[in-house]
Structure 1
């Protein structure tokens, strides 16, 4: 966090809104609904029925503490430090003497501890507590929150270690959190416990459920699974934990299994925006190519979790294609999920909104989670704290240092100052209007002497990209381009990425959008949006005319093609196309910002 700083542009603006507005907005809602008050209630010796919120509400408080910790690391704001310390004191006062930390179980009038591993979320919540402590320690040094986390982790190891309770949590999360805590503290038993949880999962030890054991990622052992399946967030969190364990233990077989699972799901179970999850009922992946646009679930939390996993795979393998996964998710699903004001968000991210949904008032809580407009809060509000912690820590996803130099994975205005593996200093300043424009300028700001490398990612869509070094211009192919030399301070590289809008066709096995086409421009998925001025369902795109750039969007040639109303919705013809007209498409991340709207990503062809 102290090596990369976002300085302006698309992501710095969103990061600033997150720090200035979203963190307080989320915490205010948690105070209002009594989720933070649960800790005070428990510390005073009370339990049910005074406790408020769902059984997993503790985790949302922990995620906001994590987000505030990353934000404090970014800004060093004194008021944030004070808030974190106050929340830490509240959490610590509610912790049991043996380290157990959960406000919904184990006290008077409450179910016994670990009496409902499938649905209780006790270990899940503990995992988010550990991650909050890791963030606080990495940005502010060891302190009370780390001690709380260590007591909680010690309790988990004592309770679920060898010879203890043999179960696993219905919602994976504890696995990656234990590894992160092991990295911070050097405690081997935390890593061992994470590996033990992974080894136990997949043997149907949790109770049978109408959604099947895949809902809990408990149907097949992690090493034997061929793809990501079941509840999308659970599956992605578990896979992230598996990568962490594999990396720390040198387990190439485990790493290879997760790579194969993710690659399969990315190729066959992922929406164009990068969203994962096709089924509303169980928030799950569908079968291969089951990707309906109008029923896309694509939960925001699943988008955050997919970034967590792709980033780990990038670090573990060095393969730049995983940085492209992160880019697709960031610029489409994540950018769409949060409102401009930082006070409203999507829980799910559909690719087709048939009817404009009414906005939820700023003081209103939405009970349902599927479709509709951004809302200030949901009864299940896991997504907003997840967005907050991702945005606050976003600088750490921009680049990496290795033995030979610096690699840029995401393009945004930033400053980087890092130490290479051999101890030499290297620094860069990046300036760009990406993703609206495709020029990325990289200036060397520090160099330790001797040759080193700057590696730039050329996205798969960027055929025709050009790299400019000094007076030399040369075409570069999609993949990675490496410039290795003895750099001087002030020297510049310029990557020019073509931003022509392009048609994208779906795999014909995706029945739900067969005969449709989408338009992309650079990393952005575009969509058609209407506040009532256009009947989007009547439009047919003429793919014989290439899309034309129009600002950060595109113009496509269309015809309307709805038949006359009739008494039976089937017949011997599809209706005659109307006269040609131009339709402006906008970036998907901007939809529903003007007000309640209809929207389509996939458009039928003429």
Structure 2
């Protein structure tokens, strides 16, 4: 099988599929919500991460190995701490690519500083690599446990997977760079091909990730053996080859073969990483059976095991999915890394199939999980993302490491700090998830002020030539998305815009620089004449010969809406959530004047669901504590229980018991869930009980 040789500056570049990803040199986010996040990520989060990697001694672990000090005490961090250095390197590589993308104007001084930091860290990693390619600071050296001796928990292959992804990011953003990272990765990959190949160790890593790393390393280098090994790891999984543990083998997806599973289960990050890697290999092998199995697993997981935020994982003890419909708000784990892994899986499915469901979930997860994790300043993070915070918690010191994933306040760093660098690499590469092309034209999947400049394929009867557009919008503050054509081929081209599933009543207008509308649109499987009018959820496609100055204007309805849960989700039956556009909103005690912030008072708040939520004034600062549009709702505080026993039969209920409807109503502001916790310790909830009748 011939692998792709063209360089695309994107995290995922399959050799086939319905859609072709665009790189950071083709797509640039120029303003708005996500541009602000990218700026904070580059200017504050990346130096913050490097500071903590140094402060906690995780970078120094490589220096110790290089100096031969492994037999003595002194290694810092958990067994997987190497991976955080690799995720940091990946984030920096994407950020360098973002700053250097075409038309950026850039910041040469910052780019040069990042380049110097990148090379300095790579040099320290290189010094710790063994002569045969082995690279790990926890295993394999004098005074340490031997290589591959703790596959269930050692994370050696997991760490290498992140090394491979860092090397891929570097090669795709700076092809042929002489820093040596790609060579480091290839030597390590060649070693594990020999060690774990067909006639080698017949096992897998307890934490999937190497599969994704090997697949992309194979794609970027053209080395088939890397893809073959990734395929072996996928096929071995599920045959009970790892030791059983207290959580069961489902924890690391070693209970059922991947192609036989019906739903994602076990540790949510591991499950999504494995699914993403399995799909990579299935696409390269044209394995339709595996692809269909993974699509079905994705669908059932979304139908029954995913929170309204897009978050996944309802168990704290094993960071795992619960059973179907087990989605309690106050015990939601919804790890930030699980949200990022979910996006990785959904994006690969979108490239393979071009189905709007995958782009919808990516948007939901980006706004309501990934964007929720970092503080406005980009220097503190949620590890887990609860949907109901019962106690305000206490603000910690900015220099204090958090021992665990408490959700009461954001923390600057964690003993297990996988989430901060994971967020950083996602934000730095975010432009690569905005748009794609195929043989007929361009598809817009996510909305932000953007410039897109790409070369369409051509040849074999396909459209060819330069296509450049500019997207103008302040989404999600408003639903107006304007796409202006800057340059287009002389042939007919298709431009496709995503109409989200919640956007019933959306409209599209098309106008020309010198003529009125022409061509046709296609939406929901039908074709209609282009004119201002309603378009259905899905992809609306306009096909015509475009000229510079042509404009597509999509208007998405942004009226706030009540959302009710499936009645099978016991924990939130009788509650409603409020959504507006892609954002889920939350009620935070810090913004409730005259209502106690403790759970005793906060838990008695009920929503009057006969009154629609209405728009309130927008915040001037999209990154501030009240980020984005704020909404008001009508609430009441239910009467305080007077019984010593918290259960009551209707037959024995006192006739003079006060009802919720007797309580005085008041209005309260809701703010986007991703902005909660920026005003200090607070209680919070997304699902609000409706009035008792």
**Equivalent residues, number:** 606
Question: What does the per-residue CA deviation read over 1:382-404, in whole Å, with 9 as the maximum and x for residues that have no partner?
Answer: 00000000000000000001111
**Cα distance in 2 for residues equivalent to 1:26 and 1:190:** 30
Query: What does residue 2 of structure 1 align with?
Result: 25
Query: What does residue 675 of structure 2 align with?
Result: 590
Instruction: Assess if the C-alpha contact under 8 Å between 1:280 and 1:370 holds in 2.
Output: no
Is residue 640 of structure 2 the alignment partner of residue 563 of structure 1? yes
Q: Which of residues 662, 684, 687 is equivalent to 1:599?
A: 684
Structure 1 residues 575 and 34: alpha-carbon distance in aligned structure 2, compared to 1, 3 A threshold: farther
Query: What does residue 89 of structure 1 align with?
Result: 123
Q: CA deviation at 1:565?
A: 4.0
Deviates more, 1:410-419 or 1:523-532: 523-532
Instruction: Assess if the C-alpha contact under 8 Å between 2:489 and 2:546 holds in 1.
Output: no
Q: Give SS of 1:381's match.
A: coil
Q: Which of residues 463, 466, 485 is equivalent to 1:444?
A: 485
**Cα distance in 2 for residues equivalent to 1:480 and 1:543:** 32
Deviates more, 1:47-56 or 1:282-291: 47-56
Query: What does residue 37 of structure 2 align with?
Result: 14
Instruction: Assess if the C-alpha contact under 8 Å between 1:280 and 1:295 holds in 2.
Output: yes
RMSD: 1.1
Q: Give SS of 1:70's match.
A: helix
Q: Give SS of 2:325's match.
A: coil
Q: CA deviation at 1:554?
A: 2.1
* 5+ residue gaps, structure 1: none
Instruction: Assess if the C-alpha contact under 8 Å between 1:369 and 1:378 holds in 2.
Output: yes
Structure 1 residues 359 and 44: alpha-carbon distance in aligned structure 2, compared to 1, 3 A threshold: same
Q: Which of residues 558, 562, 580 is equivalent to 1:521?
A: 580
**Cα distance in 2 for residues equivalent to 1:220 and 1:152:** 29
Deviates more, 1:546-555 or 1:351-360: 546-555
Query: What does residue 402 of structure 2 align with?
Result: 366
Question: What does the per-residue CA deviation read over 1:272-323, in whole Å, with 9 as the maximum and x for residues that have no partner?
Answer: 0000000000000000000000000000000100011110000011112101
Query: What does residue 603 of structure 2 align with?
Result: 537
Question: What does the per-residue CA deviation read over 1:452-477, in whole Å, with 9 as the maximum and x for residues that have no partner?
Answer: 01100001111111111126411111
Deviates more, 1:533-542 or 1:314-323: 533-542
Q: CA deviation at 1:89?
A: 1.0
Query: What does residue 630 of structure 2 align with?
Result: 553
Query: What does residue 141 of structure 1 align with?
Result: 175
Q: CA deviation at 1:334?
A: 1.1
Query: What does residue 314 of structure 1 align with?
Result: 350
Is residue 520 of structure 2 the alignment partner of residue 479 of structure 1? no
Instruction: Assess if the C-alpha contact under 8 Å between 2:408 and 2:682 holds in 1.
Output: no
Q: CA deviation at 1:51?
A: 1.1
Query: What does residue 103 of structure 2 align with?
Result: none
Query: What does residue 508 of structure 1 align with?
Result: 567
Q: CA deviation at 1:141?
A: 1.3
Q: Which of residues 140, 158, 162 is equivalent to 1:106?
A: 140
Q: TM-score normalised to the size of structure 2?
A: 0.86
Instruction: Assess if the C-alpha contact under 8 Å between 2:390 and 2:684 holds in 1.
Output: yes
Q: CA deviation at 1:84?
A: 1.1
Q: CA deviation at 1:575?
A: 5.3
Q: Which of residues 134, 155, 159 is equivalent to 1:125?
A: 159
* 5+ residue gaps, structure 2: 1-23, 101-110, 459-463, 517-530, 596-600, 618-628
Instruction: Assess if the C-alpha contact under 8 Å between 2:588 and 2:685 holds in 1.
Output: yes
Is residue 410 of structure 2 the alignment partner of residue 325 of structure 1? no
Deviates more, 1:372-381 or 1:563-572: 563-572
Is residue 375 of structure 2 the alignment partner of residue 351 of structure 1? no
Query: What does residue 475 of structure 2 align with?
Result: 434
Runs of 4+ in 1 over 4 A off after TM superposition: none
Is residue 538 of structure 2 the alignment partner of residue 453 of structure 1? no
**Cα distance in 2 for residues equivalent to 1:369 and 1:187:** 39
Query: What does residue 194 of structure 1 align with?
Result: 230
Instruction: Assess if the C-alpha contact under 8 Å between 1:102 and 1:122 holds in 2.
Output: yes
Q: TM-score normalised to the size of structure 1?
A: 0.98
**Cα distance in 2 for residues equivalent to 1:173 and 1:599:** 34
Question: What does the per-residue CA deviation read over 1:413-453, in whole Å, with 9 as the maximum and x for residues that have no partner?
Answer: 11000111213110110011101111001101121212101
Question: What does the per-residue CA deviation read over 1:524-577, in whole Å, with 9 as the maximum and x for residues that have no partner?
Answer: 101111126334311111222222222413222222113334422223458521
Query: What does residue 490 of structure 1 align with?
Result: 549
Query: What does residue 509 of structure 2 align with?
Result: 468
Q: Give SS of 1:336's match.
A: coil
Instruction: Assess if the C-alpha contact under 8 Å between 1:298 and 1:348 holds in 2.
Output: yes
Query: What does residue 9 of structure 2 align with?
Result: none
Q: Which of residues 46, 58, 64 is equivalent to 1:35?
A: 58
Instruction: Assess if the C-alpha contact under 8 Å between 1:443 and 1:490 holds in 2.
Output: yes
Deviates more, 1:550-559 or 1:566-575: 566-575
Q: Which of residues 86, 92, 95 is equivalent to 1:71?
A: 95
**Cα distance in 2 for residues equivalent to 1:562 and 1:368:** 36
